[in-house]
Amino acid sequence: MDRPPARTFAAPRAIRPADGLLAAVTAVAVLAGTARFGGRLDAAGALPLALWLGLLLLARRRWPLAVLLLSVQAVIVFRTSGLTDIGWVWPVSVAYAALAADDRPGRPGLPWAAGVGLTELAFAAAWEVPTAGTGPREALASLGAEALWLALLLAAATAYRNRLRWRAELDARLLREARERDLEAGRRIAEARLEIARELHDVVGHTLTVVGLQLRVATESLDDSPAEARAALAAAQEVRTAAVRDLRALVHVLRAPGESPSPVEPAAGIPELAALVDRMRAPGLAIDLETIGDPAALPAPVSLAVHRVVQEALTNTVRHSGASRAEVAVRSEGGRVEVTVTDDGRAAPALADTAGHGIRGMAERVHALGGELTAGAHGDHGGWLVRAVLPVPGFPA
């Protein structure tokens, strides 16, 4: 037979030292106030009232309204029964302040505290004159002082509550700003990583392709044409030196995280396209370059993007297409720059079916500058086309 699950009971909450101290101070203050204002101090009146009002404050954090209502009820019972003859509002000062300062959602403490206080004062006024035999002047003076003390209590509690709200709003705003800074830093880091990944892909991929191409030329011409072999090796060395310089710039960014997240751009642009095309030429691959317009007037980011598009397109041509001829055209006119790279090779499945890192990197560069890029098969007899159009604000139309 299965036993029923054991019941668990939550451990009672421990009394905070501050609450215990406040309860003790309240009890002593009620007795001292009664003595100060000429009231009776006896074991059947002021003493149990003071102890009861102090003990109730131990629950003020959890049930502030109930504590205030029970405290006011105790004062009314002790006053109307003749057990004590001093005080209406001031013995319950802490309970009023605790309720008025309650800032938890869904707990309108201040209106409740004001309503209970006015009700208690109204009852006191109705009871003082006809029952206790107090004259109107004495009753007005006594209850006026009680009302003034209630107003001061509520004002102080409201100021404290507003300060708590201000601190909470300030903390929330600081936390929100910190999160926004973290998001912005994460976004900038992601952009920097993406930029570095593009640069590494373009520099390393292009360098390995050109070096491999020149080494193949050197190997094929080493016996028959040593001069051509030496020229090919010199071209490979030149490309390697440029790649090392570009990689050092990228490594500098990675080793200096406190600096700007944007990598230092290598010195490349449209004016360097002629040297790029010369390096990519090889036996069996003819490359023509046509430049229209004034490339020197273009902004550096646009010029670099054009250079990288041509570089990656020609690298793909050498690697994948088996083309015998390629054409590069750059036109700077009409407030935009248009670059096209075409070849007569075959469209490799890896390029035709999915966009690799190279095509994705070209598209990201172009889109970041507000341009468009297309890449795909070209012509009825095979071939590949890469076309990018980049707007140039302020460039003459």
Indicate the domain borders of the chain: 17-134, 267-397
Helix H or strand E segment including 183: helix 136-221
Alpha carbons 208 and 201: distance in angstroms, whole number: 10
* Beta pairing class for 336-343 and 286-292: unpaired
pLDDT in tens, 41-97: 878 888 888 888 888 888 888 888 899 899 999 998 888 888 888 888 889 989 898
Q: What is the pTM of this model?
A: 0.47
Measure CA 113 to chain center: 40
pLDDT score at 381: 65
pLDDT score at 357: 67
Asked whether residue 262 carries a pLDDT value surpassing 60, the answer given is no
Alpha carbons 75 and 120: distance in angstroms, whole number: 10
Q: What is the mean pLDDT of the chain?
A: 78
pLDDT score at 350: 46
pLDDT score at 341: 92
pLDDT in tens, 282-306: 777 888 888 888 877 788 888 888 8
Helix H or strand E segment including 345: none
pLDDT in tens, 146-171: 889 999 999 998 898 888 888 988 99
- Among 104-108, 164-168, 177-181, 259-263, the range scoring the smallest mean pLDDT is 259-263
3-state secondary structure of 254: helix
The order of strands in the sheet holding 325-333 is 286-292, 325-333, 336-343, 384-391, 372-377
The whole-number average pLDDT for the span 389-394 is: 82
Asked whether residue 18 carries a pLDDT value surpassing 70, the answer given is yes
Alpha carbons 114 and 150: distance in angstroms, whole number: 8
DSSP secondary structure code for residue 14 in this structure:
P
pLDDT score at 280: 77
What is the number of other CB atoms lying within 10 angstroms of the CB of residue 106? Answer: 4
Alpha carbons 339 and 380: distance in angstroms, whole number: 22
How far does the chain reach from its first CA to its final CA, in angstroms? 92
Q: Which of 349-358, 367-376, 378-387 has the highest mean pLDDT?
A: 367-376
Angle at 43 between CA 41 and CA 44, to 5 degrees: 100
Alpha carbon separation from 198 to 146, 193, 310, 356, 359 (Å, rounded) = 77, 9, 14, 12, 10
- By C-alpha distance, which of 105, 143, 110, 138 is closest to 124? 143
Question: What stretches of 185-300 adopt beta strand conformation (E)?
Answer: 286-292
Alpha carbons 215 and 128: distance in angstroms, whole number: 112
3-state secondary structure of 177: helix
Asked if CATH classification 3.30.565.10 holds for the domain at 267-397, the reply, yes or no, is yes
